């Protein structure tokens, strides 16, 4: 199950990204998802088309069509696993503005009070299943208030809180599962029943999707094919923009701050020893790692795997100049245009490294260890 927020708000490659996300969930056995406010960014029709096209049920007990008064999507689904009927419903926090793409209107969408909506839905659902799961696209604080206002929830998945809880916890008889955000964790719970089919409890935890969790070969192949498809589209878009600009390379924006020239055109002329050492480090091959991962047009990756490209359009239309690929001298020491010959140029501190080696992208970063791997012999 997924607690909402599956759709991207990126302006380019959106359909292929959204289809891959939803198809991946279906292949992993996901039985249902609910609606996040951000999922309405491109309107109701786009949302419904993506999920119906890929065969993943959307459920919500508190999202309505204002014009008809009907549920926008089905209020719940009942799935059977191992002879156990599991009822799944969802709710979305109502008190927030629905931001949409320019020209898109969602004025026909109504978000009712979650507890009141569940109070109407759960009694009906209880008669059709053995266990009820609520997918709550709400903050942790609002989720914790639900058991005080409505009865009948066996499990609740917290869907709009970035922090994760490795272990489940109970509030008012409802078991809370808090898997975090950004697809970095997954909750794995098992329900236990006796020989007569009576529910006896559960076991499980939320796992960090790190090296301890083996990758699935079929899913890894799907991700690779997706990256290749996006990369092809990005390169095609960049080529079209260059053609439109009549060879002026309009797509290659200037970086923020002073212009950089690249080590070949400047640094290597005087700093031969340092250049030869740099060539042996991972920094010198940072762009190659993107090419191997089919991410050489991903603007989020290029900010740290290229030199001085800090202002990149989000649509993947920029291809990095060959002279500024990988983490070169100017990435750490500053633009060569500002070179000072009194020995004060290019000082490196921990804050220099943390620009890229932040907790999200480099969780195992240790300044002393990492610096030793790239520090030039003469420094």
- The three-state DSSP-derived secondary structure of 195-211 is CCCCEEEEEEEEEECCC
6, part of any domain: no
- Exposed e or buried b per residue across 254-273, where buried means at least 16 C-beta atoms within 10 angstroms of its C-beta: ebeeeebbbbeebbbeebee
Would residue 5 count as lying in a domain?
A: no
Of 162, 184, 208, which residue constitutes the final position of a domain? 208
Q: Is residue 164 part of a domain?
A: yes
Number of domains in the chain: 2
Greatest alpha-carbon pair distance for the chain in Å reads 83
Give 47-50 contacts, CB < 8 A, sequence gap 24+.
47/7, 48/73, 50/7, 50/15, 50/18, 50/19, 50/22
> Both 233 and 361 in a single domain?
yes
H and E: helices and strands count for the chain: 12, 10
Q: Is residue 275 one of the residues assigned to a domain? A: yes
Whether residue 73 is contained in a domain is answered as yes
Q: Which residue in 74, 47, 46, 49 sits closest to 60, CA to CA? A: 74
Using CA atoms, how far residue 298 sits from 127, 283, 304, in Å, is 49, 18, 11
Domain edge (last residue) among 208, 233, 249: 208
Tens of pLDDT, residue by residue, the chain (379 residues) = 888 888 888 767 888 889 999 999 999 889 999 999 999 999 999 999 999 999 999 999 999 999 899 999 999 999 998 888 999 999 999 877 888 888 888 888 999 999 999 999 999 999 999 899 999 999 999 999 999 999 999 999 998 887 888 888 899 999 998 888 777 788 888 888 887 777 788 888 888 887 777 888 888 888 888 888 888 888 777 777 766 665 554 444 444 434 677 888 778 878 888 888 888 999 999 999 988 888 888 888 888 998 887 777 766 666 677 888 899 888 888 877 666 555 556 678 888 899 899 888 888 889 999 888 888 865 5
Query: Can you tell me whether residue 6 is helix, strand or coil?
Result: coil
186 and 239 inside one domain: no
Q: Which stretches of 39-83 are assigned E, i.e. beta strand? A: 63-65, 76-81
Q: 200-238: buried (b, 16+ CB within 10 Å) or exposed (e) per residue?
A: eeeeeebbeeeeeeeeeeeeeeebeebbeebbebbeebb
Q: Looking at the domain assignment, is residue 184 inside a domain?
A: yes
- Both tokens of residue 229? 């498809």
Give me 186's structure tokens. 């997954």
Give the whole-angstrom CA distance, residue 136 versus residue 331: 43
Do 223 and 297 fall within a single domain? Answer: yes
Enclosing domain of residue 189: 14-208
357 shares its domain with 321: yes
DSSP for residue 137: E
- Say whether both 203 and 283 belong to one domain: no
Of the three residues 153, 185, 208, the one that is the final residue of a domain is 208
Q: How far is CA 376 from CA 37, 272, 345, 372, in A?
A: 50, 11, 15, 9
2 domain residue, yes or no: no
The CA distance from 315 to 310, in Å, is 14
Whether this prediction's pTM lies above 0.85 is answered by no
- Is residue 123 domain-shared with residue 233, that is, in the same domain? no
Asked if residue 287 is part of any domain, the answer here is: yes
Q: Does residue 250 sit in the same domain as residue 315?
A: yes
Residue 113 belongs to a domain with what CATH number?
Answer: 3.60.21.10
- Does residue 58 share a domain with residue 195? yes
């Amino acid at each position: 199950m997924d607690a909402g927020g599956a759709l991207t708000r990126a302006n380019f490659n959106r359909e292929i990204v959204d289809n891959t996300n939803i198809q991946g969930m279906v292949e992993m056995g996901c039985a249902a998802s609910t609606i996040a406010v951000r999922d309405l960014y491109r309107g109701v029709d786009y949302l419904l088309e993506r999920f119906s096209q890929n065969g993943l049920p959307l459920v919500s007990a508190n999202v309505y069509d204002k014009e008809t008064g009907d549920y926008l999507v089905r209020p719940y689904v009942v799935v059977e696993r191992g002879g156990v009927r599991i009822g799944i419903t969802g709710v979305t926090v109502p008190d927030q503005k629905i931001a949409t793409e320019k020209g898109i209107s969602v004025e026909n969408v109504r978000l009712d009070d979650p507890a009141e909506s569940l109070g109407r839905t759960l009694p009906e659902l209880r008669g059709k299943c053995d266990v009820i799961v609520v997918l709550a696209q709400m903050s942790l604080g609002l989720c914790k208030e639900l058991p005080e206002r409505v009865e009948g929830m066996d499990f609740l998945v917290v869907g709009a809180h970035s922090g994760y809880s490795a272990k489940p916890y109970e509030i008012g008889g409802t078991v809370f599962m808090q898997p975090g955000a950004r697809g970095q964790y997954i909750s794995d719970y098992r329900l236990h029943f006796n020989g007569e089919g009576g529910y006896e409890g559960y076991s499980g935890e939320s796992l960090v999707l790190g090296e301890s969790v083996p990758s699935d070969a079929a899913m890894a192949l799907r991700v690779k094919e997706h990256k290749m498809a996006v990369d092809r589209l990005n390169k095609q878009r960049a080529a079209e923009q260059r053609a439109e600009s009549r060879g002026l390379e309009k797509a290659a924006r200037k970086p923020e701050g002073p212009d950089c020239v690249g080590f070949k055109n400047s640094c290597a002329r005087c700093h031969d020893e340092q250049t030869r050492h740099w060539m042996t480090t991972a920094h010198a091959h940072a762009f190659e790692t993107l090419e191997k991962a089919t991410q050489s047009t991903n603007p989020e990756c290029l900010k740290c795997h290229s030199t001085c490209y800090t202002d990149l359009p989000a649509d993947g239309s920029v291809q990095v100049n060959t002279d500024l690929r990988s983490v070169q001298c100017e990435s750490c020491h500053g633009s060569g245009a500002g070179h000072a010959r009194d020995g004060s140029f290019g000082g490196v501190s921990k804050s220099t490294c943390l620009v890229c080696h932040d907790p999200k992208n480099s969780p195992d970063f240790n300044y002393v260890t990492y610096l030793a791997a790239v520090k030039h012999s003469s420094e």
